A and B are shown apart, each in its own frame.
Chain A
Amino acid sequence: MAIKFGGEFEVPRTPEEVYDFLTDPNKFAPLLPDFQGVSVQDATHFNVKVAVGISYIKGTADVKMELAQAERPQRAQYKGQGSVAGGNVSLTAGFDLSPMNAGAKITWQGEAQVFGRLTSVAGGLLEPLGKKNVQKLIDALQAALKPSVEQVGAGAPSPPAEPSVAVNDAPAEGRTQSESAS
């Protein structure tokens, strides 16, 4: 089951500042919804743990991330692969940065491919859950990039956890589209 996402938003930071933020695992990873921890291997590899809750299925997703494309300050792309609640997930998340007015426009695309029994047990919930969590990540990114990049460095608290069952409407800020190909 493939779930695809994409959208764009603007932030009052230069592309260089945004790029540096996005490619720093210690800054980027804590913004992931239900973040539990990160361990950095090297400049382009880190492992991140996030809590997962899909209805009655609770667990921890352990995802190996790789900064697969790093073209400062235009593009950063992460690839990840991990195990989650009886299944596996592979994902890509790419950010294209361009200068705009006094800040930067961030065009992003993501795709999550879910494998395993999870797709049968929770198949119908995966897409709305994915959409919700991606939106939370984008919201957190926007919030983090608003005041000063330095103020949301390593160790910043993660956004408050929310119940992960309902499907939120897209927020006013930013635009998100999703489609699934199954």
Chain B
Amino acid sequence: MNPPAEKQNWVGKPLPRKEENRLLRGRGRFSDDVKLRDMLYLRFVRSPYAHARIVSVDTAAAEALPGVVCALTGAQIVSQTQPFIEIGPDPFARIKDYPLAVSKVRYQGEPVAAVVAESAALADDAAELVQVEYDALDPVIDAEDALRNKSVLHDEAGTNQVWNGVFEYGDVEKAFREAAYVINIDRMHFHRFSSTPLENNVVIGCWDSKDERIYYECNNSFPSFAIQFLAAHLQVHIDRIRVETSDIGGSFGIKITSYPQMAICALASKKAGGRPVKWVETRSEHITASAHGNERTFRDTRVALDKNGVITAIASRHIDDCGAYPRYEPLGCVIWSQVFAGVYRFKNARIDFSQAVTNKCPVGPNRGYSRMQHLWFLERVVDICAHELGIPPDEMRLRNYIRPEEFPYTTPNGCVYDSGNYPKMLQLAKQRIGWDEWKKKQAAARKEGRLIGIGIGTTLDSGTNNFGQSQIVNPGLPYSGNSQGANCKLDIYGEVVVAVGSCPQGQGHETTAAQVVADVLNIHPDLVTVRTGFDTERNVHTGFSGTYASQFAVSGLSAVHGAAQKLKTEMKRLGAFALQTKEEDVEFGTGAQGPELRAKSTGEAINYWGLANLVNANSAALPEELYEVTLNCRYIWRAPFKVPDKQRKYGNLTLTYASQLHIAVVEVERDTFIPRILDYVAVDDCGTVINPPIVEGQVYGATAHGIGAALMENCVYDAVGNMLTSTFSDYTPITAMNMPKVKYDHIETPSPHSYSGAKGMGEGGAAPVHTISAALQDALFAEGVFIDDSFNNADSLFRALVAKEISQAGKLVKVEKR
């Protein structure tokens, strides 16, 4: 008899990633690796203008080039398609958004035509022969200017304001009347930056006219959303669109918005007689015209505080710049409110939020999207108040943090923070960085005239959205809740195979899903095969499936867990029949012939092959009452959400709230004004950690992304809408060479809202952006400089410190003592 099966608990173990075997040996399969028979190549002709009327598009010379198969223009697209669905309400619901510009271009790099040829090089050459005549229009580069509507981008809307709403909770005016201090901050600005995934966007589209089916191989990271847009636009049934993704080399949200390019590849394939058409984005195209993160301006901020520096109210006006087309973006008008209060206890607040279109690249979800802008705003507010009132920034935070005993904590707008312990994270971070020692070093350095600052950034990574929040933006939208699907089966030869509706881009889903299933079935994770990538024909996706918004640990793994539990139940029934015992007597484990079920009472066992055989190949032996056992179990996990109150803008918008607390020590060099990170610590709390190295890796990645954003990466436009940072020479993404040594630590406050206690993580809340701004503020406060922008490099610090052109605290911050 085999010994009793011991429970292993693979969840929580530092299991090496199953993906490494493939990816580190160059055996990954990315979309650009896919070569289909008779494949053609597509190249876009893009607008050099930010805003212009299209007078004419002449593709004749390009089409006459040998090897060119066809070309597409906006006018041709209009005759074959419907405009894309608009998420926002009227008047922006009226705009006509097509994947190629039709009568106007609205940002530099907007596709105007597409050329399809037998090779990528030919398509490149042919694209240069397309003649486009433009009539330049006044561009609108600044969102505040855009709201004045002097030059309107979308004539159908008649305004540049995409959305406006006031989020007001508590009694704001009373709090201001009773305040001991009121601090006024004139303007702050969160800059525009993007993500630079190793792999750019890639689409292969194939329109099979014979049976009206469209096949995509691509690296879109939210395919279930993309197909909803594509089906309506291309006027085909959604079930006729198959999307497959393979390995994806990073997305960070940016690849959610590649559906316009997907539409073009399908239409080009249709025009080319059904031959597959591949488009591989160049790096410059990616930087100029894929998607950027939201730029946001914070105006007329007023903060009420009591005599102890506890914030009692905040009022502010926020203007979000979503670039030329709203597309996914009206959702950004509400997504920030998932973290309305940040990590703080204030109950009274009024935020007047507007979003505007400008003649810049459309924005899209970008790591921590919409929330990081707001969290940066809150962290700046807390930090500025601390400095103005002479309260140490760590003490200021402790006075204002939500307290550990208050969880689950309901925010003023009805979000329920599941768990957390911010004071403990602060204590741990201070200990890891050596706070007291750095304070002494800082004091000594200041006597030498050195500019050293220590900054704290506390942020949230809200995961698993309630899509009902979309109805706050547009009450007519048909979305609410959240769900994810998974399938777990025992294959015909007894292999455990898992399929999920996610499309991982480096997050280690194969490994963590295997850990979850391994725990359920009490087998080794190596015995679990997880199908990588997304495929609509696996039938495991829901309308929310994809990989975005820090949710896989909750939604994805809950679905996997549910499917594995269903499979286990079926296996147990079947095992009890096969072993002629009761279900309670059946245990799961691994024996000499691999994973098996055994009867505890007799020691008799049947391995997985034998079990699967009973259903799939030896079914005559199966009694009728077991006919419903398929060993192929689909499970849809649904988040326990309600539709928010649309009028009050109130409700639980997210299921879990991971938190991050970073501390940075930064020095601004007196001679060069270059900011240098001297020390850095990142403390993370994502609840129960499923796989520690995977979590740690994602913390490092998010930290690098944030440091790059804070100090190096900025999408710069000139006054007429030329993007001046369209190559890596100018955009300067962060690399390993620029990364400081990051000290990592974590605490675990398990979430009561997920089966495992895990919280979604990975986006990191852009903690380094807030942290570095705070450190620079600490370094430069005595110099009269106010850190009012999220991007700070040597040039801007010179302009603030020496030229005194910008960021002068005396002009921008006013303190009223009551």
Contact = CB atoms under 8 A, between A and B. Distances in A.
The reply to whether chain A is a binding partner of chain B is: yes
Contacts of A119: 718, 722-724
B724 A123 contact: yes
B53 to A, nearest CB: 13
Interface in A73-88: 83, 86-88
B345 to A, nearest CB: 45
Contact of B48 (A115, A121, A181, A182): A115
Interface in B720-755: 720-727, 730
A121 B136 CA distance: 21
A89 B723 CA distance: 15
B722 A88 contact: no
Contact of A120 (B49, B720, B727): B727
A37 interface: no
A90 B801 CA distance: 37
Contacts of A2: 719-720
Contacts of B720: 1-2, 113, 115
A120 B134 contact: no
Nearest to B136: A90
A106 interface: no
A116 interface: yes
A182 B721 CA distance: 10
Contacts of B370: none
28 contacts: A1-B720, A83-B48, A88-B134, A113-B720, A115-B48, A115-B49, A115-B50, A115-B108, A115-B721, A116-B48, A116-B722, A117-B48, A117-B284, A117-B288, A117-B726, A119-B722, A119-B723, A119-B724, A120-B288, A120-B722, A120-B723, A120-B724, A120-B725, A120-B726, A123-B722, A181-B719, A182-B719, A182-B724
Interface string B214-258: 000000000000000000000000000000000000000000000
A114 interface: yes
Interface string A137-162: 00000000000000000000000000
Interface string B255-298: 00000000000000000000000000000100010000000000
Contacts of B136: 90, 115
A57 to B, nearest CB: 12
B719 A120 contact: no
B126 to A, nearest CB: 15
Interface in B685-733: 718-727, 730
Listed from nearest, the 8 A-B pairs whose CB atoms lie closest are A116-B48, A120-B726, A119-B722, A182-B718, A115-B48, A88-B48, A87-B48, A115-B49
Contacts of B719: 2, 181-182
Nearest to B139: A115
Nearest to A123: B724
Contacts of B50: 115
Contacts, number: 52
Contacts of A115: 48-50, 108, 136, 720-722
B718 A88 contact: no
Contacts of A88: 48-49, 134
Interface in B547-597: none
Nearest to B284: A117
A50 to B, nearest CB: 18
A99 to B, nearest CB: 37
A82 to B, nearest CB: 11
B724 A86 contact: no
Interface of B: 48-50, 108, 134, 136, 284, 288, 718-727, 730
Given A120-B722, A182-B718, A182-B719, 4 more contacts: A119-B723, A120-B726, A120-B730, A181-B719
Contacts of A181: 719
A86 B134 CA distance: 14
Contacts of A83: 48
A120 B719 CA distance: 13
A88 B134 CA distance: 9
A43 B48 CA distance: 30
Interface in A109-134: 113-121, 123
B727 A121 contact: yes
B192 to A, nearest CB: 15
A87 B288 CA distance: 14
B48, B108, B719, B730: residue with the most chain A Cβ atoms closer than 10 Å: B48
Contacts of B727: 120-121
Nearest to B287: A120
A114 B722 contact: yes
Interface in A1-57: 1-2
A120 B49 CA distance: 13
Contacts of B288: 117, 120
Nearest to B50: A115
B601 to A, nearest CB: 75
A140 B811 CA distance: 51
B235 to A, nearest CB: 34
A86 B124 CA distance: 12
A82 B288 CA distance: 22
A182 B720 CA distance: 8
B719 to A, nearest CB: 6
A81 to B, nearest CB: 8
A88 B720 CA distance: 12
A119 B718 CA distance: 9
A166 B50 CA distance: 30
A119 B719 CA distance: 12
Nearest to A115: B48
B50, B288, B722, B730: residue with the most chain A Cβ atoms closer than 10 Å: B722
A1 B722 contact: yes
A19 B718 CA distance: 36
Contacts of A1: 718, 720, 722, 724
B251 to A, nearest CB: 24
A94 to B, nearest CB: 19
Nearest to A180: B718
B48 A86 contact: yes
A117 B721 CA distance: 11
B720 to A, nearest CB: 7
Contacts of A182: 718-719, 724
A134 B150 CA distance: 34
A153 B376 CA distance: 66
A38 to B, nearest CB: 19
A83 B730 CA distance: 23
Contacts of A117: 48, 284, 288, 726
Contacts of A121: 726-727
A86 B108 CA distance: 12
A110 to B, nearest CB: 17
Contacts of A120: 288, 722-727, 730
A2, A88, A114: residue with the most chain B Cβ atoms closer than 10 Å: A88
Contacts of A113: 720
A121 B283 CA distance: 13
A52 B726 CA distance: 21
A118 B48 CA distance: 9
Contacts of B134: 88
A117 B725 CA distance: 9
B765 to A, nearest CB: 30
Contacts of A90: 136
A139 B143 CA distance: 44
